[in-house]
Chain A
């Protein structure tokens, strides 16, 4: 905001303000566009609500599953959140590792080109991730799931292995690959911004590279990493096609390595083309629930990332 010019306002007292058509056009187009954005966002909430209302108010036994809308959407919410959380837990350490590699371990040129490649990974369409996940990745995971069932089967999460590999766990791992670039990009940015003053302070005290990172880089970058992780979580929550293609959906189960489970976006994508009437309304209502969840996560992420400014201590 500091960069914004404050051009001399025309003084209304000294002369009649000349309303040039060009100025009028530019300022009204600008304000108009800004207003459209606000209206669109309000529109998203309002129109979804209108279309969702029949499902929200329908008698319990008319909704799919016969337990009301809450009963219908609840397992989907849990499936969505579990898949996204697992993806986040898997992706974060790797992303922080890559970010450190790019910012502090790799030579600068190599780091830059790796940054570009990682950005490219973020641009690959999700439908392609889904196709790859189902045809290449899922079959490769079957032996791992069998091993988990044999050795850790007493844990309900690994109770019964799927033979196709098309499970919530596979979907989570692919989601992890998909959100990796987001977390990496944000973490890389904050790591690169670490004041060299602090890095040098640590090195001058006789720190090894890792000790320097632990003393100067990680404390400085932590809020950014957390914010990036939250953004990644938001993306995973809303990701549709990869899950829709990979998962062989079913009722909710805690068994992550067998078939079953579904997420809200995948449920919508899989059923929307054939849906009509109340079913359509149910799906839109589920979308509304998803919207609220991702909104909460994203606002939380923004809040953390913005707070970083106070943390940085750069004076």
Chain B
């Protein structure tokens, strides 16, 4: 406390004694203090409401493009907000409110496409998705002519997604059968056997690498592999698709399972080993049951991740119009691939609507499955969680 300017004698102090806004920092030479004046948040909310109205007016009355109206209104809001709070509370308060507005807007901006997407899928797909005919028919023998006759009212709607639903279940089921043992045992190795040795480190690294494989590359890999084994004519089969999905699914299973096994308290393992229980029984009877709910929830999420994959199946399985129960021979169909083909290559280029209807119905089914799997995963994790968990 050596500098002479540090303290001024009290009698020369210009402040009123009860002035909280003034601090001793303001008297240090070379510093321009930036104070904060208290400002209520009410003007911010009132301005927000006002500018929502401005945005609506720009859109409806001045007939601006909705995005332009929103953008203009928001920029206007930011400017007015900043100026108002600059007067009310000073620069720092103004900046604080500016950032708050930006953060809230970012949130609204992200909700918008989600709502629009869900609305579109439901509105376009709900009409057909729950029609028993759609759920029970395949596309076998259905051509553009059927669609044209349906459009002109001469015939009933034909052609559904039964084969695609079955294909989705078969292929995803096989992928799960392949991925879960491999993924779980790898996770068991990493947590229970590896103990940070060189192999476990490299496995962890390669699992990371695997997480980043683009889905279409996984499809190309399965195709290339099966071409080498079965020859190029017979390469496209359901199993190839399951292998492609497994490449995408294994890393997710490993990561989720590893995390779940790690939070099993060590005391449990030690207690079991101390009783003379062999290691494998400790894992099978103590570790896995304790982590069971977490493992199940992780696997459910992994299934949800791959069930909507299109690109790898497009490449590895091809496209089937009819039902194919045999995953070892010939193309199959899945909901995602079905939606893609119905959407981009309508049966009748002149009468696209029936095909689009099928595409959106398949998309809606797919979204419902994914949402259901996500909710299921949460439910499992919540309901069956071990009581003593952290």
Contact = CB atoms under 8 A, between A and B. Distances in A.
- Does chain A bind chain B? yes
Interface of A: 1, 3-8, 20, 22-23, 25-27, 29-34, 36-38, 40-41, 43-44, 47-48, 50-51, 93-98, 100-101, 105-106, 114, 116-121, 123-132, 134-137, 140, 143-144, 147, 177, 180, 184, 206, 208-211, 213, 231, 234, 237-241, 244-245, 265, 268-269, 272-273, 283-284, 287-288, 290-291, 294-295, 297-299, 302
Contact of A124 (B92, B217, B367): B367
A126 B310 contact: yes
27 contacts: A5-B192, A5-B273, A22-B280, A22-B281, A23-B278, A26-B283, A27-B280, A30-B188, A30-B189, A31-B199, A33-B186, A43-B221, A44-B217, A117-B111, A120-B371, A125-B309, A126-B310, A132-B120, A136-B117, A140-B67, A234-B212, A241-B310, A245-B344, A269-B314, A272-B314, A287-B214, A290-B214
Contact of B247 (A23, A44, A132): A44
Of all A-B residue pairs in the complex, the 8 with the closest CB atoms, nearest first, are A238-B214, A125-B308, A97-B106, A298-B212, A30-B189, A33-B185, A240-B311, A47-B224
Question: By CB atoms of chain B within 10 A, which of A47, A94, A116, A244 has the most?
Answer: A47
Contact of A38 (B202, B211, B310): B202
A294 B220 CA distance: 15
B382 interface: no
Contacts of A126: 308-311
Nearest to B378: A116
B207 interface: yes
Nearest to B315: A272
B216 A268 contact: yes
A7 B281 CA distance: 14
B95 interface: yes
A235 to B, nearest CB: 8
Given A124-B367, A241-B311, 20 more contacts: A33-B182, A34-B203, A44-B213, A94-B106, A97-B106, A97-B107, A98-B103, A101-B107, A123-B374, A126-B311, A128-B367, A132-B117, A137-B113, A240-B215, A265-B311, A269-B216, A269-B315, A290-B216, A291-B217, A295-B209
A198 B339 CA distance: 50
A117 B111 CA distance: 9
A127 B340 contact: yes
Contacts of B281: 22
Given A30-B189, A269-B311, A211 B278 contact: no
A101 B104 contact: yes
A291 B280 contact: no
Contacts of B116: 132, 136-137
B82 interface: no
B319 interface: yes
Interface in B160-178: none
B370 A125 contact: yes
Contacts, number: 297
B46 interface: no
Given A30-B188, A123-B304, A238-B214, A40 B103 contact: no
A127 B96 contact: no
Nearest to A44: B221
Contact of A47 (B194, B210, B213, B228): B228
A92 to B, nearest CB: 11
A130 B336 CA distance: 11
Contacts of B213: 44, 238, 291, 294
A142 to B, nearest CB: 10
Nearest to A23: B280
B269 interface: yes
Contacts of A245: 340, 343-344
Interface string B247-259: 1001000100000
Contacts of A140: 66-67
Interface of B: 36, 65-68, 92-93, 95-96, 98-100, 102-107, 109-111, 113-114, 116-117, 120-121, 181-186, 188-196, 199-200, 202-203, 206-218, 220-221, 223-225, 227-228, 247, 250, 254, 262, 266, 269-270, 273, 278-281, 283-284, 304-305, 307-311, 314-315, 318-319, 336, 339-340, 343-344, 359-360, 363, 366-367, 370-371, 373-374, 378
Contacts of B202: 38
Contacts of A127: 308, 310, 336, 339-340, 343, 363, 366
Contacts of A6: 195
A161 to B, nearest CB: 14
Contacts of B363: 125, 127-128, 131
Contacts of A40: 210, 247, 250
Contacts of B250: 37, 40
Contacts of A213: 99
B65 A143 contact: yes
A211 B34 CA distance: 13
A141 to B, nearest CB: 8
A302 B255 CA distance: 14
Contact of B193 (A30, A116, A244, A294): A30
B280 A48 contact: no
Contacts of A106: 107
Contacts of A117: 111, 114
Nearest to B344: A245
Contact of B217 (A23, A231, A287): A287
A273 B314 contact: yes
B185 A32 contact: yes
Nearest to B341: A273
A248 B68 CA distance: 25
A287 B220 contact: yes
Contacts of A8: 273
Contacts of A208: 36, 92-93, 95-96
Question: By CB atoms of chain A within 10 A, which of B117, B227, B273, B373 has the most?
Answer: B117
Contacts of B188: 26, 30
A30 B366 contact: no
B103 A101 contact: yes
A132 B182 CA distance: 36
